[in-house]
Structure 1
Amino acid sequence: MIRSSRILFTAATVFLASTVLATDAMARNAQPTATDCGSMLNNIRQSEGSGNYSTNTGNGYYGAYQMGKSALIDVGYMRGDGTWTGKNGINSLNDYLNTPTAQDAAFLEYGNRNLTYLGNYQQYIGQTINGVTITRGGLIAGSHLTGAGGLKDWLTSGGSCTGRAVDGNGTCAGTYVAENQVNEACSGDEVAAGGGGSCLTAHPVQSPVVFSEYGAWNRPGAGSGNGWHRGSDIYPQGAQGQASTNQPLFAAHEGKLGVGSMGVKVTGSQFRTLYLHSYSRPDPKDVKAGEEIAKVGDNQSAGKPHLHFEVQVPASAVKASKCVPGSSTDDCVFPVGGGKRDPNGFATSDALSSASPNTWYYVNPERYLKERVPVVGMAAARAGRNQSLPNTCTPGQDVAETPTSSGDSDNSGAMAGGEGTYMTSGGSAAANAESDLRSLAINMTRQNALELRAASALSQNLEGRTDSAIAHMLLLMSRTEMGQQ
């Protein structure tokens, strides 16, 4: 049984069946209703270990599913004396915490054992108890929370959330049953599609907050024709705008640290993550997850310091792309090297199926964060939510060779070429810099030399503020900036 093992959550629960769930004493993050095995496992991982396979809070419960010693003994991973049996190659706690597939398998095996402990569990399937439909997956989920005995009390009491039917944090077994409406038997083959791989194991900034979401097209306030937003704009909680300057950036996973014109990049076996707009220039080196790698700055985002965070994965890790411009863009994927201002620049399912396994794609960073984080401001208004999306963590295999993409180049060249460039608008720049002239400079230096020559000829007419001498100065400034890239 797993009681009082839960990691505490702070967000209020949106209850699926208000009567049965209203007795949850401790607020927790509600999970979406799962109707397939992969989604169910993701739900349990989020509720138990915040989606992090390496979770070890020191309370005797381990991994993404927070399985304790008694459960691990029950499924053959541990002996009574606390030593490891070597099952599925797991010979130590470190092995267990670093092997997502073993944790997935342990959870499913434990769930099937709990079904047998319920006796004739099939008698409950299809019933509605206190507004909650009982499914096979719901029984597995509910018994994982409170043990088979606690779930049985909930079932036989008509859905009463008392006694053994709640865990040590006050979460009712019926909560897990309601959130996991899965009728199929889960074999484990479905896990990869629903998130059986590895999430990022560290946040890129301390206590991150998303203020501009992934997948937006031509975001208002981000400059004319800014195209697809192929990353998430993030700042540390409580450090918006200028307060973000010099805040530390951390490697979200282990890998090789590289440096480019717009920021830094960490390349690993399953992920490439980009930390753009940083003005830090550290030496290339091997880094561990959670290691400080740079500072938040304002390179190419003058007037609004923040982290533009991008996650790239190889095609072998992309299972599908759901991209409906104007409707659903949370899970668009974009080939690295493709044009961000091409309205049709996202990858279709056909393109994905024919792509080389070593082609890299931009994916939604929210799906790979180690836990869900707040979404605020216009991002919350546009997305209609105040929390990042559930993470699915699909990468589950190492890349055999260095991935490439058509049109992609080395770190410096790719970054200098404008991957993920945040086009600061004149309005936001002026608000931060308190200078209309600075706003004009920021926008004009985004253009190429030919456009600038034309702009300088027209600049004399801009509200009577800029004469030809200033326009010439701006042109020189632009050339200097372009030379530095």
Structure 2
Amino acid sequence: MKRWIGFVLHLAMIVILTSFGSYTMTKKVDHKVPDSLKVKMGIETLVLQDSVYDSENSLVTPPFLGNAYNGFKEALAFKESQGRYDVVNTLGYLGKYQFGKNTLKLIGVYDPDSFLNDAKLQEKTFEINIARNKWILRRDIKRFNGKRIRGIKITESGILAAAHLAGAGNVKKYLRSYGQNDVADAYGSSISYYMRKFAGYDISEIPQKRNAKV
């Protein structure tokens, strides 16, 4: 009887252990992921440099092409016309860089229609105007480059961008008044805004040129 009882108990123990092991191996465990950690597809947004509403309340998403001359002119063109050659704004300013007719005449362009339809001419005109403004503002660039006016670091590219906006004469007044004469165009873009937005580009490859013409 003792041997029989021992055998039964031993057999029962084996059955219990086998059943428990089978249960633990086959039991399905449901690991619930919190909603805060779940990945939701289709919500990622590609944000380019300066792809925000700027201080002038306009959406600016310029292509970033570096800090040399090409990057400078394309960033400025995007602000002016979103880089489109065929644009004429409500005030009659023309093309990718939004030139006024009087400025075009100063640098030797007398046919606005031909200008609007000639991409190469627009690029050449912009380069010539930069060279012209470099000459006009050469003393101010030398005097103010690297200084700060009302918290804005003054750079050559900022000065020339502002001159494209408001004319070299108004930029001289702004610099020599240390920011007190800060004019803006009809759309609200000011000299100080252009000084800040287009600061820090290297446009040394464009030489200054007196009375530059296309």
Fold-level similarity (TM above 0.5): yes
**Quick check: 1:143–1:151 contact (8 Å CA) kept in 2?**
yes
Q: In structure 2, what is the Cα distance between the partners aligned to 1:151 and 1:178?
A: 13
Give the drift of 1:116: 2.7
Residue number in structure 2 paired with 1:111: 130
Deviation readout 1:360-386 (Å, 9 max, x if unpaired): xxxxxxxxxxxxxxxxxxxxxxxxxxx
**Quick check: 2:72–2:203 contact (8 Å CA) kept in 1?**
no
Q: Do residues 138 (structure 1) and 158 (structure 2) align?
A: yes
Residue number in structure 1 paired with 2:67: 35
TM-score w.r.t. length of structure 2: 0.61
Q: In structure 2, what is the Cα distance between the partners aligned to 1:173 and 1:140?
A: 10
**Quick check: 2:109–2:115 contact (8 Å CA) kept in 1?**
no
**Quick check: 2:152–2:196 contact (8 Å CA) kept in 1?**
yes
**Quick check: 1:150–1:166 contact (8 Å CA) kept in 2?**
no
Q: In structure 1, what is the Cα distance between the partners aligned to 2:185 and 2:124?
A: 23
Give the drift of 1:58: 5.5
Deviation readout 1:142-196 (Å, 9 max, x if unpaired): 101111122222212323464xx222222111222222222332449xxxxxxxx
Q: In structure 2, what is the Cα distance between the partners aligned to 1:106 and 1:64?
A: 11
Give the drift of 1:139: 1.5
Give the drift of 1:132: 2.4
Residue 101 of structure 1 aligns to a residue whose secondary structure is helix
Q: In structure 1, what is the Cα distance between the partners aligned to 2:206 and 2:172?
A: 24
Q: Do residues 57 (structure 1) and 71 (structure 2) align?
A: no
Residue number in structure 2 paired with 1:185: 204
Give the drift of 1:61: 1.2
Deviation readout 1:411-454 (Å, 9 max, x if unpaired): xxxxxxxxxxxxxxxxxxxxxxxxxxxxxxxxxxxxxxxxxxxx
Residue 107 of structure 1 aligns to a residue whose secondary structure is helix
Q: Do residues 48 (structure 1) and 80 (structure 2) align?
A: yes
Give the drift of 1:119: 5.3
Gaps of 5+ in 1: 1-10, 16-25, 79-83, 85-91, 189-485
Determine which structure has more spread, i.e. the larger CA radius of gyration. Answer: 2
**Quick check: 1:108–1:186 contact (8 Å CA) kept in 2?**
no
Query: How is 1:142-221 mapped onto 2 (pairs within 5 angstroms)?
Result: 142-160=162-180, 162=182, 165-180=183-198, 181-187=200-206
Give the drift of 1:103: 0.9
TM-score w.r.t. length of structure 1: 0.29
Residue 167 of structure 2 aligns to a residue whose secondary structure is helix
Q: In structure 1, what is the Cα distance between the partners aligned to 2:151 and 2:78?
A: 24
**Larger relative strand fraction:** 1
What one-letter code is carried by the residue in structure 2 that aligns with 1:130?
R
Residue number in structure 2 paired with 1:473: none
Q: Name segments (4+ residues, structure 1) moved above 3 Å.
A: 29-34
Q: In structure 1, what is the Cα distance between the partners aligned to 2:57 and 2:136?
A: 29
Residue number in structure 1 paired with 2:147: 127
Residue number in structure 1 paired with 2:120: 101
Coordinate RMSD, CA, aligned: 2.6
Query: How is 1:214-229 mapped onto 2 (pairs within 5 angstroms)?
Result: none
**Quick check: 1:161–1:172 contact (8 Å CA) kept in 2?**
no
**Larger relative helix fraction:** 2
